[in-house]
Every structure is written in C-alpha cells, then in structure tokens.
A and B are shown apart, each in its own frame.
Chain A
Amino acid sequence: MNPSSSAPREMVYIVDDDPSICEGIGNLLEAMGIATCSFASAEAFQAAWEPDNRGCLLLDARLPGMSGVELQERLEKYGVGLPVIFMTAHGDMAMVRKVLKGGALEFLVKPFQQDELIHAIQQAFEQDRKRRAEQAALTSIQQRIDRLSERELQVMARVTAGKLNKQIAAELGVSEITVKLHRRKVMERMEAASLAELVKLCEKAGFPNKPPATDGK
C-alpha cells in the first residue's frame, strides 16, 4: 500500500473483444513505453484483477457477455477506484452521458487520435496516483490514530474541537498538567508538528467519527 515502495508497475488494462484492437493499442503503448495487459472480456478482467493493480482501464463499451457499462457499475459498487477510459465504435450520446455520470474519466470514439489516447491515459494515471497517495496517507493516519490510548483519543477529540486545556481537564476530571502531558503524547504519536496539522490529519481521517463528548456533563 505504500506508494513509493516496490509496487507493481502502472499498466493500461485493455478490455476489448476484438483482438486486433487490443494488439494495435498494445503495440502503440508499448512503443511509447507504457505497459499494457489485454483482456477479451469484462469477465476475464474481473477474474484477473488484484487490489494492487495500478494504472487505468481502457474499456470497450460494447462487449459480449458483461458490457463495459456493467463492468464500470460493478467497479463503482465494489469501490475499485481504477480510473476508466471508455471507447466505442459508435458514439451513442445516451451511453456517453451515462458512463461519464458513472465516473468514467474519458470517452474515446474509435478510431481515436494518438494524442487523445495518450492524454487520457496520462490523466488516468495521474488520477490513479493521486487516489493511491490519498489512500496511503489515509491509511497511515488511521494507523497512527489506532496507536493512541483511550484517554489520548478523548484528549485529541477535545483539542481538535478547539477546547482549552482547562476545559478539557474539567470535562475529563483530571488535572491540567495531566491534560498537557496527554496532549504532548498525542502530538508525538500523530507525528504532528502543530495543532493546525493535527486538526488537518483528524479531518482527513474523519476523526472523530462521532461528535466529541462535550455534552458529557
């Protein structure tokens, strides 16, 4: 899950029932130094998919069996964030609207220009990287939060809610000194240099997912 470490290469997963299309696109992308992997059907792609597959999906809208549109819906449903570029041999506006609404990145009408394809792929890769980075950051923050003790979580919730040490001490029924101690520990463990940074981290992780117990009294 770490974006910088030894993860598989970014790849364009081509799904088209016409092998000559897969071959042509594969050939072009290979010439441009982009790795590809072809599938003749949506089912074949689904079977081969791994959670750490990176890159993007170049998907034909019309496929035998499960259609491209259906595959996209399934990806959406199961939270697979792989960016999708659609391609089709006939521009059906209703379908274009539908897949773009469904979160597709781009819709290419065959035959497409090299620039169009490359631009779309680059965009998709960018999006995938950003998504992965975000996901990784989120995982890391979550890991840090998981390391905190119960009392530290209570303190952090109140600190990020903008409460003074004195108030927190009163709420938790401890001394102000103890609160200060917990607070330092939280900053350390969350690897936050300032209060602002801590707030940002908590926001990203969605912490606290329930409102802090200010109404505890």
Chain B
Amino acid sequence: MTHQASEQSAKQRLLAAVRPLAIACGLVGIALLASFPLQRVIAYPFVFLFFGAIMVSAWLGGAVAGLWAALLASLVVNFFFIPPLYSITVAKEAQTFWAAFILCAFVLAWVISGRQRAERLVRQANDRLEGMVLERTAALERSNQELGERERRLRELTEAIPQQIWRAGPDGALEYLNRPLRSYLGLEPQQPIAEQLAEWVHPQDWPQLEAAWARALFAQESFEAEVRIRSGEGLWRWFLVRGNPQRAGDGSIAHWYGIHIDIEQQRRAQQGLQTAQEDLSRLSRTLTLAEMAASIAHELNQPLTAVVTHAYACREWLRDDRLNLERAKTTAEKIVQESTRASEVVRRVRRLFQKESPVCQQVQVNELIEQLAVLLRPEAIRRNVEVRLELAEELASLEADPVLITQVLLNLALNGMEAMNGMATDAVLTIGSSAAEPGYVQIWVEDCGPGVPTELAQRIFEPFFSTGKDGTGMGLAICRSIVEAHGGRIAVETAASGGARFQFSLKADA
C-alpha cells in the first residue's frame, strides 16, 4: 500500500512538473501555427499571438508554465520571425526588438501568474469561507431541529399526562390548557380560551376560587382551592385547583402553572362519612327515645306488677275455702301503697317532660341567621341547594333564647331543603328577616319546592302530622311551641315561586 501510494505521489509530482511545460508547449505551438496564415493579413501578428499564449499559459498553468511559455516564445520568435529567419542568430537591427520581446514576455508571464495566484488564493479563501458557512448553517439547522424535537416531546408529555394542567400569563390570563383539561371541559382543540373560568367553576365555589386567585396574584405566591368544575357533559366534579408561579431570572413572575386534581371520590367518601354520622346521630336520638320509653315502662310496670299480684293474692285470701281476713286486709293495704307508688312514677315522668321556660337574652336575629348559614353550608352542598340571605339592614334586637330560635330556623331550613329534594337545578333556599311589622321582627324561610297546600297550612303545625316518609311529625310542632313560648306566631304561606314560605314574628325590643 505504501509502495503504491508513494508511486502514485511520484506520478503526481511528475505530472505537476510536466503539466506547465505541456501547457506552454501546446499554446506556443498554436500561436506559431496561427502566426503564418495571419502574416498575410496584418504585420507582426506573432507578437500578439505569443503574448496571448504566454498570458493563457501563465493563467492556466501558473508561474512555471508562464516562464516556460515566455522562454519558448522567445526562442521560437528568434528562430522563425527575427532576421535572419530560420536561424538562432539575431540580426543587429533586430536585437533591441528581440530584447524588448523577451522582457515583455517574462514580465507578462510574471504579472499574469501573480494575478492568477492572487485570484486563486481569493477563490480558495472564498471556497473555504463558503464551506464554513455551509457547515455552520447545517449545525444550526441540526440544533434547531433538536430543539424543536425536544419541545415537541415536552408538549406531548404535557398533553399525554393524565392530569389537567394549564398555564397562565403573569397577569393570570389563561394561555394554555392541556388536552385532558380541554377534553374534560369539552373544548375543541383549537377553541380559544377566553376568560371562561367563571363559567366552568360552580357558582357557589367561584367566590372562593376568585379570592384565592386574587390573593395569589397579589402576593405572587402559590394557591389552592377546592372547587366543583363542570365537565363538558354538564356534570360537576370536585377538584383541588393548585397554581404555582414560575419565576423568570429577575424574580418576576413569568407564568403561572396550574394543576387540577380530581378529588371527587375523596369528597364523596367525606360526604358518605358525614351522612353516616348524621344517620348515626338520628339513630341514637331514636334509640334514646326508645330507651326512655323502656325505662318509663319499667318504672311503671314494677309497681303495677306488685299491685296486680297483691290484688290476685287478696282475691285468694278472700276465697271461702281459705278465708283469711287478716291477710286480705294487709294485702289491700299493700295494694294502696303500690298504687300510690305507681302514680308517683307517673308524676315523676311528667315532671321530666315539663316544658322549661326559655333562657332569654338579647338576640340579634341577623347574626343568628348568618351563623345558621354557616351551619347549613355542608348540608346545602350535599343537597346541591343554594342558600340566599335577605336580611333587613336595620333590625331591632329582641329577647329570646338563641339556641331555641336557631333550632326553629334549622328545622325550617332543613324542611325547606327536604322539600326541594329531587330538583335538578335552581334549588334555592332563602332565609330573610324584615322589620315590616312595627314592634316585631319577622323571620322567614322560603324554598322553591312544591309548597304546602292551603288546606294543610294549619295542620302541619300539629304534633305527629307528617307528609314525609321518615318524618316524626314533631319538627314543626316543636317550632310552633318554641315560637309561641317566645310570644310569637308562626305561619306558612305560598311563596311567589310556588314554594313554601314559613314566617314567624317575634316581639322586638322597644
């Protein structure tokens, strides 16, 4: 291989040495041949032709070829065209011409080859530059492509991740929603995201989210909120919305990134727990009632049993075949004693259930209603009922037992929610106060359920009157007795919405 290579390089070297000579010979030959016919047309054509041959040789073959051409041209001109013709000698009168020719030929060869070299160098430099530019461009294109690929993968990741993700600008305006979020919300892939946030979030939860967002934007801190978000099919699910700021190099907020975590199951479990708790407390309440009944029965049955057995004994003692008047008399005494004991039990039980007069204190009705609204919130959410308050601004305080009044309100509110059971949308419960009637404070609870038929308006306040399947029929009776114990009145009427409007008034402080 090395042998071959060296042979090849030797060949190249030989070629490099021969090539200028060949070029010079060829061109000078052509110039010579062209000179003879042209001699008849113009004088001394060989000068231009040979100079041309030298120029072309120098241009094509470089300095060596140029010099070769100059040398050859000088000799050929001397031999063919300078007198004496066809001899190497130079006539005295032609010596100056020949010398000038040689000088011009060599200068020409030198100048042209110099030019040619410079030109070649420039071209080479140009070529190198171009190559470099091409190389750079390719590298740039490659890295651009890589960048694009990486971004595409990243985007694919955010699109493919089974989490709902969004990005918002520093001002909080939504810029991007990933595919799962879009598909949950039922948005078309290219549908623009305007300020629709309020439409997606449940109206009851919106204020909470809005406040959290506003606080986060102001404080430039992350936030989270638990809200219901409507799916494309119009169903509500609970989500934990969490937003985190992404800071730029200078510490300012570049973007907000948000994630929605589905907590519907968790919420349901929570609600289930709550329901179970409620059931439990309801059960324990009935159990207590049953226990109490059993205890009263036991208390009464003991003396009754004694009375009855003594009475039987008395009858036995008075039988003809074993008459024992003494024993009959003492037994009758016992009967009286035990009967008294039984009636004592009855009296004690009655005392136990005696109504106690309310513990009165100064009460601000609006405060009670607001507290109640807080109490009602979990139940309202569970039943999908919106609770509205319509409170009179200037309301006199009144003397009442706040616990009992709250119980009345709670009872009426729960009844109202119960009445709206099964309403798919727009279940609204309104609790309000008014000072319309002078000297009284009016409180009302209004639902938009089916309402109370007028013929039942009086009866529903009677004990044990119930329209519900599981009702004890005591709720409204208790409400009435509490209101009346406070010297007030309670009534039901039909609301403008067709629902029931329970209203009671209590005497206001003078």
Chain B residue nearest in CB terms to A87: B305
- Chain B positions within 8 Å of A23 at CB level: 306, 310, 334
Cβ B302 vs Cβ A25 within 8 A: no
- Whether A31 contacts B316 by the Cβ 8 Å rule is yes
Q: Which residue of A lies closest to B308 (CB)?
A: A111
A114 at the interface (CB under 8 A from B): yes
Given A31-B313, A31-B316, A31-B322; A24-B306 close (CB under 8 Å): yes
B82-98: CB near A (< 8 Å → 1, else 0) gives 00000000000000000
Min C-beta distance of A111 to chain B, whole Å: 4
Which residues of A122-150 are within 8 A (CB) of B?
none
- Judge whether B309 and A28 touch: CB under 8 Å: yes
The docked-state distance in angstroms from the alpha carbon of A89 to that of B301 is 6
Contact yes or no, B306 A18, CB < 8 A: yes
Q: Are B306 and A28 in contact (CB under 8 A)?
A: no
Measured in the bound complex, the distance between the Cα atoms of B305 and A89 in whole Å is 9
* Residue of A20, A27, A31, A112 touching B303 (CB-CB under 8 A): A20
**Hey, which chain A residues are within 8 Å of B313, CB to CB?**
24, 27-28, 30-31
Q: Which of B301, B303, B341 has the most CB of A within 10 A?
A: B301
Contact of A24 among B294, B297, B309, B324 (CB under 8 A): B309
A21 and B308 alpha carbons, distance in the complex (Å): 10
Does A90 reach chain B (CB closer than 8 Å)?
yes
Tell me the smallest distance from the CB of B297 to a CB of chain A, in Å.
5
Asked if B301 and A112 make an inter-chain contact with CB atoms under 8 angstroms apart, the answer reads no
Chain B residues lying within 8 Å of A90, measured Cβ to Cβ, are 294, 297-298, 301
Interface residues of B in 273-319 (CB under 8 A from A): 294, 297-298, 301-310, 312-313, 316-317
Complex-state Cα separation, A114 to B315, whole angstroms = 11
Would you call B305 and A21 a contact (CB within 8 A)? yes
Task: Write the nearest CB–CB distance from B271 to chain A, whole angstroms.
Answer: 33
Query: Is A32 in contact with chain B by the CB < 8 A criterion?
Result: yes
- List CB contacts (< 8 Å) of B452-502 with chain A: none
Using known A-B contacts A27-B331, A27-B334, A89-B297, determine if residue A21 contacts B306 with beta carbons closer than 8 Å: yes
B338 within 8 A of A: yes
The interface bits of chain A over 1-41 (1 if a CB of B lies within 8 angstroms of the residue's CB, else 0) are 00000000000000000101101110110111100000000
Q: Please name 27 pairs of A and B residues whose Cβ atoms are closer than 8 Å in the assembled complex, sorted by A.
A: A20-B303, A20-B334, A20-B341, A23-B310, A24-B307, A24-B310, A24-B334, A27-B309, A27-B327, A28-B313, A30-B313, A31-B316, A31-B322, A31-B324, A32-B316, A33-B322, A62-B298, A89-B298, A89-B302, A89-B305, A90-B298, A90-B301, A110-B302, A111-B301, A111-B308, A111-B309, A117-B309
**B interface residues with partner A (beta carbon < 8 Å):** 294, 297-298, 301-310, 312-313, 316-317, 322, 324, 327, 331, 334, 337-338, 341
Which residues of A line the B interface, CB within 8 A? Answer: 18, 20-21, 23-25, 27-28, 30-33, 62, 89-90, 92, 110-112, 114, 117
